[in-house]
Amino acid sequence: MKHIHTENTQQMVVACIDGAMLTDAVCDYAAWISKRVDAPLKLLHTIDHHHETAVTADLSGNIGLGSQEDLLEEISGLEQQQSKLKLQKGKLLLQAAKDHVIAAGIPEPICSKRHGGLIESLIELEENIRVLVLGVRGQVHDEQNNTIGAKLEAVIRSLHRPILIVNEEFTTPQTIMLAYDGSEAAEKAVAMVASSPLYKGLTCHLVCVNKNAANVASLLQQAQAKLKKATDLTLITASLSGKAEQELCAYQQEHHVDLTIMGAFSHTRLREMLLGSFTVKMLVHTKKPLLLLR
């Protein structure tokens, strides 16, 4: 009983598993975080049955009265087959992911298969999520390199937890970039980097993009003072001018940054503005994983 209580209350690193090309990388980054912060790792696969319901509704409306019963029975049989296939696929995906993270040094990952939509499942789990890890694109959009997954925006809007968005094969992060603009979310990012064991021993580039040089100097100074309190963190500051997403992505490539961290979304904006164009552009253009903080 004690074990169950711990699993239900302890904050975990949650990796979303869907069988897309980035699934192994999602597992690897989740395992890396899990080991660094000493938190349990949960592998989550969701099975959404919504599409079958839609198919039945669409088809039944076009069936003649005489043949409706037979065809609906056949459709029902096909739905049951599809449901069984989804369940079997989920089982195989979770087993493969479990084997992968065990090989990566996680002895006892938690496997979770949930029925329903991804967003609803994550909202239910939110209290127990320390960091969420998922791919920038799911299986449906695997080949579309310049897009973000259809569900990704909704996940980011819905959750108030750190979200690591993976867009490439795993490389052990040695260098991070903290995109800083003085906002409330950016201040939280500074506090997290300064205090979390995830970043110990890494090189941190504190980067600010602002046309006002004096303003940049002031912003960097206050953030630098907080980060210098962190142990085992090598700090480099940089002041940039221009379009933020272009400057940050160029800096990232030039300095071989492995992971970018940025605050996302001000609570004072209207809901429609929560996922601003800057966040979208960073998600589309960055070539390295992006950790978004609310």
Domain stop point among 134, 166, 198: 166
Alpha helix (H) ranges present in 115-267?
A: 118-125, 152-158, 184-195, 213-227, 244-254
Beta bridge partners of 259: 176
Phi/psi of residue 101, nearest 5 degrees = -75, -30
Residue written as token pair 């996922």: 275
At 275 the pLDDT is 47
**For the segment 88-115, what is each residue's pLDDT rounded down to a tens digit?**
888 999 999 999 999 999 999 999 999 8
In 3D space, the residue among 238, 243, 168 whose CA is nearest the CA of residue 204 turns out to be 238
Structural domain boundaries, residue 132: 2-50+86-166
Instruction: Report d(CA 190, CA 262) in Å as an integer.
Output: 9
Nearest one of 99, 59, 61, 95 to 79, comparing CA atoms = 59
Calculate the CA dihedral of residues 285, 280, 21, 17 and round it to 10 degrees: 150
Q: What digits encode the pLDDT tens for the residues 127-176?
A: 999 999 999 976 555 555 566 666 888 888 889 999 999 999 999 999 99
Q: Which pLDDT score, from 0 to 100, does residue 76 have?
A: 77
72 in a domain, yes or no? Answer: no
The β-bridge partners of 292 are 163, 262
| 136 shares a domain with 14 | yes
Domain count, the chain: 2
Model pLDDT, residue 19: 85
**Residue 70, in any domain of the structure:** no
Confidence at residue 4, expressed as pLDDT on a 0 to 100 scale: 40
* Predicted pLDDT of residue 77: 77
Same domain, 182 and 155: no
- Using 70 as the pLDDT threshold, list the residues of the chain that sit under it: 1-9, 49-68, 138-150, 213, 231, 265-277
- Considering the domain architecture, whether residues 41 and 147 belong to the same structural domain is answered as yes
What are the beta bridge partners of residue 43? Answer: 15, 111
Identify the pLDDT of residue 67. 63
Task: Give the residue from 166, 193, 209 where a domain finishes.
Answer: 166
pLDDT at 56: 43
Q: Are residues 132 and 194 in the same domain?
A: no
pTM for the predicted model, two decimal places: 0.83
Q: What is the pLDDT of residue 273?
A: 42
